[in-house]
Chains A and B, each alone.
Chain A
Amino acid sequence: GAGVSQSPSNKVTEKGKDVELRCDPISGHTALYWYRQSLGQGLEFLIYFQGNSAPDKSGLPSDRFSAERTGGSVSTLTIQRTQQEDSAVYLCASSLGLASGGVGFTDTQYFGPGTRLTVL
């Protein structure tokens, strides 16, 4: 079946502009995650959605970053007034989520190809 898709694959923007990154999770996956990978850095968690709610936004680096999810499916990560330090690959992952719950169950995350953001 179709995996996680992200768009655009590449985005070049000028400092100070706003950008929107889109993630389409695997059909039926209720959990969705955003991560970021900067040059020379590891993957860092940004935000987690269960359904349309975001119980954990602890990884968002500043209030310029926000995300929403509608219809329990597509998610958009918005970065306002972009800065050069926002340049990174933004990765989305999805998993079955709490709907798959049970004793001893695991919830494997599957990643999309990422969006490479370059802020000039």
Chain B
Amino acid sequence: DAKTTQPTSMDCAEGRAANLPCNHSTISGNEYVYWYRQIHSQGPQYIIHGLKNNETNEMASLIITEDRKSSTLILPHATLRDTAVYYCIVRAFTGANSKLTFGKGITLSVRP
């Protein structure tokens, strides 16, 4: 699976949008972009995924560039509960094993 690069950390003010970037310049045509987050002492939580089109759900929006070499996760109105480590993962489903390979992620701190 392609490798991803994320900043180590970022912060944003409560109520503002949090834009979390991810670079995946070696992504292949059959690889999806997944985002998970891990709030302290909890298991990872699935947020959203996409292939090439922008996606939106009740938690977030995912913007993928046209060349698919980078993406941005957008939390439209960050709350204190959104403070977590966010993982951007690029992965192809092989039909045999679709294990997730986690990097270090980006630590988002939402301040009051």
B-binding residues in A (CB < 8 A):
4, 31, 33, 35, 42-45, 48, 55-56, 59, 91, 93, 95, 98, 101, 104-114
Expressed in whole angstroms, the Cα–Cα distance for A56 and B100 within the complex equals 13
Q: Which residues of B contact A33 (CB under 8 A)?
A: 99-100
Chain B residues touching A, range: 20 to 34
Number of A-B contacts (CB under 8 A): 55
Q: Judging by beta carbons under 8 Å apart, are A42 and B99 in contact? A: no
Expressed in whole angstroms, the Cα–Cα distance for A48 and B101 within the complex equals 13
User: Could you list 23 examples of A-B contacts with CB < 8 Å?
Assistant: A35-B100, A42-B103, A43-B102, A45-B100, A55-B96, A56-B99, A59-B99, A91-B44, A93-B44, A95-B98, A101-B95, A104-B51, A105-B93, A106-B93, A107-B93, A108-B49, A109-B100, A110-B46, A111-B43, A111-B45, A113-B42, A113-B43, A114-B43
Expressed in whole angstroms, the Cα–Cα distance for A54 and B71 within the complex equals 33
Expressed in whole angstroms, the Cα–Cα distance for A44 and B87 within the complex equals 13
Q: Which residues of A contact B51 (CB under 8 A)?
A: 104
Q: Which residues of B contact A112 (CB under 8 A)?
A: 43
Chain A CB within 8 A of B77 CB: no
CB contact between A45 and one of B45, B99, B105 (< 8 Å): that residue? B99
Q: Judging by beta carbons under 8 Å apart, are B93 and A48 in contact? A: no
Expressed in whole angstroms, the Cα–Cα distance for A30 and B95 within the complex equals 13
Given A33-B99, A48-B99, A109-B100, CB of A43 within 8 Å of CB of B44? yes
